[in-house]
Chain A
Amino acid sequence: MTCELCGRIQQGEWTLGDFFIFHQPQMLSICEACRQQFTRITGPVCAECGCQSQISPCAECEIWLTAGYPAIHNQALFAYDEQMQQYFKQYKFQGGYHLRDVFQEMLAQRLVKVAPTMIVPIPITTETQNQRGFNQVSAWLEKCEINEILTCISTSKAVQSMKTRRERLQTTQPFCLVTENLDLTGQRICIVDDVCTTGRTLRHASSCLYESGATQICTVTLAR
């Protein structure tokens, strides 16, 4: 199988265990060497956005908090560096759905540790859905139980009623719930997104869920 990033042919490593249970060695669409090139975030991080930072909250998050946005608690797995951008280009922008396999396992493991009562992926717009054909976050979480309870306002059927109630208050809020009057009381929710650049998306999603009664919200992004 050819590695999708470097184009080299990768050979599967058979372990003795695989041999005994006649199990095909697992091969991902990106080779081991290329996977090593992604930079894991380790060491001191900003408790808000999850970036590698000596101070917490980091300077950027400080601005958001001062502006009165609710706090978030984001964990990011990887740095959004050149290698990650290359992956996003192929997976998200070129629409290589088969590349979802690369991070499925790692995200699932992290979510097991977080142990929320509900996993909520950030939604995509209908236009993106039509063009790309998949939500890049949900595709990573294929093997987890997820609740797609958020949707993008511009395309939601609820748009009309939203206008009267909330639009004047929060014109920038891009999300709403798929069904109105959803009661999230007592839920510990983990929101998942692909990359946290400013934290804006995550903050909006959080406030949307808090308004419906969520008790605790944390977020996980693949990159920061």
Chain B
Amino acid sequence: MDESDFYGRLVPVRHDQIPALPEGSMTIPAIKDGICQRCATKINTTWRTPTSTYCWACANLGRLSDDQFLATIPEPNVFETDAMPCQWQGELTPAQRRVADEQVQALNAGRSHLTYAVTGAGKTEMLFPMLTVALQAGKRIALVSPRVDVIVELAPRLREAFKTDFVVLYGDSPETYRYTQLVLASTHQLLRFRAAFDVIVVDEVDAFPYAENVQLEGAVQRATKPQGCHFYLTATPSARLLRDVSKQRLRISLLPRRYHGQPLPNFTIIKIGNWRKKLSWRIQRILREYVISKQRFLIFVPHVADLTATLNEITRLQPSLKIAATHAGDPDRQGKVQAMRASELQALITTTILERGVTFKGIDVMILGADDPVFSQAALIQIAGRCGRSASRPTGKVWTGVTERTRTVIQARNEIRYLNMKGKQYDV
């Protein structure tokens, strides 16, 4: 192993490997006082083999046991920095420019910052000025998201925009770790780092429910240097983040307008009764119209178990429609998403997995069973946000099929209404 592999990282080693570690490395026991030193989880009493205790909470990064150690070398920030790392040719709208400036100010002040921007506001591009300043200053930066899809989609865009070399790290990532100034990773991978980054950008910070976020939040904290700061990006901030804003622990920039200036498409709520038993005549009519208009669309259903049944029913009603179903565990998911992008498919049925980050130009959206508890308010707003992303078709329909009009659905609609109203007060 190269010495740089230990910079700001926690590398699991066995006792007999310690003498061979590079100079300057420090080791701690992997599990100490019943607490995993990598993920801070309390070790459950059932997590033990006949000979040792292990941590199951972070076992998908390789199981750690109490006969192992974690080796690290304090982050030295030794990399070649480029004077002009950004080669992006595009231009920010005045509103994006304003947020970008506020991010740079926060960076210079060493303060953490929240960017609350509606879906399709161009969050990624807005980051470029701040990233450029940070890279020039020789800071080590991680750009993370709880969602692997977001990371996979972000990587090529970042490669195009920056000359700076970076690794992409997530569960099944083909890349192996090497020391780079910029790291693109799933939030989970931050567990392998300790006080490594001056800046961590968390995209789609609220992609997971609160409980899971707490664990990932810990990972973000421990991977940050004591003087480091965070940039959170979200379209649906949690109450906790907004509380941090009101307590002035976080600075905030609000961008309630999309880059093309059109309002967010809002939900068209339709009562569809027991849709699992029979697709209502209104849904059937919409499908008929889509077959004629060739308009591409996404269908969201609550559970993986609903996918096949819905696909079969729609194929029975409209045999000529080119449609497929996919979900997180589908081995051919990337292939189907690609086919949808290439317009080889007119429609895709999916669960909430495609709600964030993944974009298709000019699509409509249909939600079946939007009143199911799996669709949180944030998830619904994200789903609606798949619509009207391109300047060439800035509008779109969000058909929202419910058995009952629940509070969550109504609140999501009101939130979009509020953002659209607020948006009128802001420049594009």
| Known A96-B56, A98-B56: A134·B63 in contact at CB below 8 Å | no
User: Is the contact region of chain A dominated by helix, strand, or loop, or is it mixed?
Assistant: loop
Q: How far is the CA of A132 from the CA of B63 in the complex (A)?
A: 9
Per-residue CB contact flags for chain A residues 70-103 toward chain B (1 = under 8 Å, else 0) read 0000000000000000000000001111100000
Give me 20 A-to-B residue pairs in the complex whose CB atoms sit less than 8 angstroms apart, sorted by A's number.
A29-B46, A94-B59, A94-B60, A94-B63, A95-B49, A95-B59, A96-B56, A96-B59, A96-B63, A98-B46, A98-B47, A98-B48, A98-B56, A132-B49, A133-B49, A133-B50, A133-B51, A133-B54, A133-B65, A134-B49
- Of the candidates B44, B46, B50, B63, the one whose C-beta lies within 8 Å of that of A95 is B63
Bound state CA distance, A96 and B56, in angstroms?
7
Query: Considering the chains assembled together, what is the distance between the CA atoms of A29 and B45 in angstroms?
Result: 13
Does B425 sit at the interface, judged by CB under 8 A? no
* Residues in B lying within 8 Å of A, measured CB to CB: 44, 46-52, 54, 56, 59-60, 63, 65
- Cα(A134)–Cα(B49), bound, Å: 7
Main secondary structure of the interface of B (DSSP, over half): loop
In the bound assembly, the distance between CA atoms of A132 and B44 in angstroms comes to: 18
Measured between beta carbons, the chain A residues less than 8 angstroms from B65 are: 133
Closest residue of A by beta carbon distance from B60? A94
Interface residues of A (CB under 8 A from B): 29, 94-98, 132-134
Closest to A129 in B: B51
Q: Which residue, of B47, B54, B65, has the highest number of chain A Cβ atoms within 10 A?
A: B54
The distance from the CB of A31 to the nearest CB of chain B, in whole angstroms, is: 15
State in angstroms the CA–CA spacing of A74 and B228 once bound together: 60
B-chain residues with CB within 8 Å of residue A94 when the two chains form the complex? 59-60, 63
Q: How far is the CB of B105 from chain A (nearest CB, A)?
A: 41
Task: Give 9 closest A-B pairs by Cβ, nearest first.
Answer: A133-B49, A98-B46, A95-B63, A97-B49, A134-B49, A94-B59, A133-B51, A133-B52, A98-B47
Closest to A82 in B: B329
Cβ of B167 to closest chain A Cβ, rounded Å: 23
- Determine the chain A residues whose CB is within 8 A of the CB of B59 once the complex forms: 94-96
**How far is B64's CA from A133's CA once the two chains are assembled, in angstroms?**
11
Q: How far is the CA of A181 from the CA of B49 in the complex (A)?
A: 32
Measured between beta carbons, the chain A residues less than 8 angstroms from B54 are 95, 97, 133
What is the chain A residue whose CB lies nearest that of B49?
A: A133
- Output the nearest chain A residue to B329 by Cβ-Cβ distance: A82
**B50 touching A134 by the CB < 8 A rule?**
yes
Q: Collect the chain A residues with CB atoms within 8 Å of residue B52's CB.
A: 133
Question: Once bound together, how far apart are the Cα atoms of A94 and B47, in whole Å?
Answer: 12
Q: Considering the chains assembled together, what is the distance between the CA atoms of A121 and B109 in angstroms?
A: 64
Residues of B within 8 A of A29 (CB): 46
Bound CA–CA A94/B54 (angstroms):
11
Question: CB-CB < 8 A to A134: which residues of B?
Answer: 49-50
Taking the closest CB of chain B, its distance from the CB of A148, in whole angstroms, is 13
Q: Once the chains are docked, how many angstroms separate the CA of A80 from the CA of B46?
A: 26
CA distance A42 to B63 in the complex (A): 36
How far, in whole Å, are A97 and B56 apart by their CA atoms in the complex? 10
Q: Give the shortest distance, in Å, between A136 (CB) and chain B (any CB).
A: 11
Complex-state Cα separation, A133 to B60, whole angstroms: 17
